[in-house]
Amino acid sequence: MLEQQLLNALTLGSVYALFALGFTLVFGVLAVINLSHGAVFMVGSYAALALVTHFDAPLWLAILGAMLISGTIGLLVDVLILKPLRARNAPHLIPMIATIGVGIMLTSAAQGMFGAEVLRFPEETLPAGEFIVGNVHVRALELAIVAIAFILMAVLFTLIKRTQLGRALRAIAESPKAAWLLGINVEGLFHVTSFVAAALGGVAGVLIGLDFNAITPQMGQPILHKGIAVIILGGMGDIRGALIGGLFLGFAEVISKAYLSSQMGDAVAFGLLFLILLVRPSGLFGRKLERKA
């Protein structure tokens, strides 16, 4: 059973990581805890579902469409809400509260349009494919999620660490004023980041919607909760951290369910998180500059 549980942990961890990637990106660049990310994730799911059921779109097109729609929402939130807040020098918790409002709006809009009950992708659209290796049952979709999480992480990580664009993003994250003075189009990059992060959230929504096949207006809430844990465990805004943090949480949860007690899954995961933070006050990859004066 251990092999199966390890696989379970890997997929669950990748699910968390996938969700956390966009979340951490916004956090890292805009320094906003975007609590509407869960709702954007949910919108991604519904968007793909609507494309598949109402327009008979093939799955790949539906995924693209979902990215576009959720990305646009992210962009709109940035342009219409976060940008004016930046211009008005809002204190740092204020944007977070605005995103709570956005989350509420998106959730109730989704309920208005699609109803409160659980919706599913039609069976024929689900990528089939399941194989059994030894004692372990593997589904193609799960493998896809794991692979996509790793690939996206690698791409984003290289982008941020090695390219001029990445350096510019890090510059913005530290000081928008300094970035402007370097000739960086700070607002433009904020918009791009918001779009990309929300699009990533949207993809995560589609994939996870496909895998667990339960789409509801509330589906973003529990994962948002975990997502926050993941990005902070990984270290604020750190792309590698999102993956490692996600995997960590996935493994902690699955292993404690498997070998301790399923009642304790979350308690063990959060308890460990608590302890890790005490040992590493800035998360796994976070670092604090030591210089004081």
Partner 1 sequence: ADIKIGIAEALTGGAAQYGVAISNGFQLAAEEINAKGGINGNKITLVIEDEQGKKEESINVFKKLIFQDKVLMIFGPTLSNSMFAAGPVANAAKTVVFGTSVTANGITDVGPYVFRNSVMESDVLPVTVATATKHYQLKKVAVIYGNDDAFTKSGYDVFKKVLEEQKLPVTTTETYVKGDVDFKAQLTKIKGSNPDAVVCSCLAEEAANIMLQARGLGIKAPFIGGNGFNSPKLFEISKLAGEGTFVGSPWSNTNPAPANQAFVAAYQKKYKAEPNQFAAQAYDALNVAAAALKDIKLSGDIVADREALKNALPKATISGATGPFKFRPAKTRSGQPGGWDADQKPFIYLVKGGKFTLYSSK
Partner 2 sequence: MEWFNDFWSTYSTLVFSVGVHALLALSIWLTLSCGLLSLANAAFMGIGAYVSALLTLQLGWSFPAVLLAGGLAPALVALIIGAPVLRLSGVYLAMATLAFGEVVRITVLNLEITGGPEGLNGIPLLTEGWHIALILALTLYGLARLRRSKVGRAFEAIKEDEVAARLMGIDVDRYKLLAFVLGAVIAGVAGALNAHFTFFISPREYGFENAVDIITMAVLGGTANLIGPVLGASIITLLPELLRSLHDFRSFVNGAVLVLVVLFLPKGIWDPRRFRGWLQRVKGGRA
Partner 3 sequence: MSVLLRVRDLAVAYGHIEAVKGLTFHLNTGEITALVGANGAGKSTTLLALSGLLKPARGKIEFDGEDITALPAHQIVKRGVVQVAEGRAILTTLTVAENLVLGAYTRTDKAEIAASLDEVYALFPRLKDRADQFAGNLSGGEQQMLAIGRALMAKPKLLLLDEPSMGLAPIMVQEIFRTLVEINRRGLTILLVEQNVRQALKIARHGYVIETGEIVLADSGENLLANPKVEEAYLGG
Ligand X SMILES: Nc1ncnc2c1ncn2[C@@H]1O[C@H](COP(=O)(O)OP(=O)(O)OP(=O)(O)O)[C@@H](O)[C@H]1O
117 touching partner 3, by CB under 8 A:
no
52 touching partner 1, by CB under 8 A:
no
Cβ contact 202:194 at 8 Å:
no
Residues engaged in binding partner 2 (CB under 8 A): 33, 35, 81, 84-85, 88-91, 93-95, 97-98, 100-105, 107-109, 112, 221, 225, 228-229, 232-233, 236, 263-264, 266-267, 270-271, 273-274, 277-278, 281-283, 286, 292-293
Of residues 216-255, those binding partner 1 (CB under 8 A): 216-219, 221-222, 253-254
Among 89, 134, 164, 274, binds partner 3 (CB under 8 A): 164
Task: Classify the C-alpha dihedral 160-165-171-176 as positive or negative.
Answer: negative
Shortest distance in whole angstroms from residue 249 CB to partner 2: 11
Number of H helices, E strands in the chain: 12, 2
Cβ contact 267:53 at 8 Å:
no
Among 83, 139, 170, 280, binds partner 3 (CB under 8 A): 170
Of residues 126-145, those binding partner 1 (CB under 8 A): 130, 132, 137, 139
Instruction: Compute the distance between CA of residue 292 and CA of residue 174 in angstroms, rounded to an integer.
Output: 17
Pick from 244, 246, 266, 248: nearest CA to 256: 266
Shortest distance in whole angstroms from residue 23 CB to partner 3: 20
Nearer to ligand X, 117 or 290 (CB): 290
Instruction: Compute the distance between CA of residue 157 and CA of residue 94 in angstroms, rounded to an integer.
Output: 29
In the chain, what's the furthest Cα-to-Cα distance?
A: 63
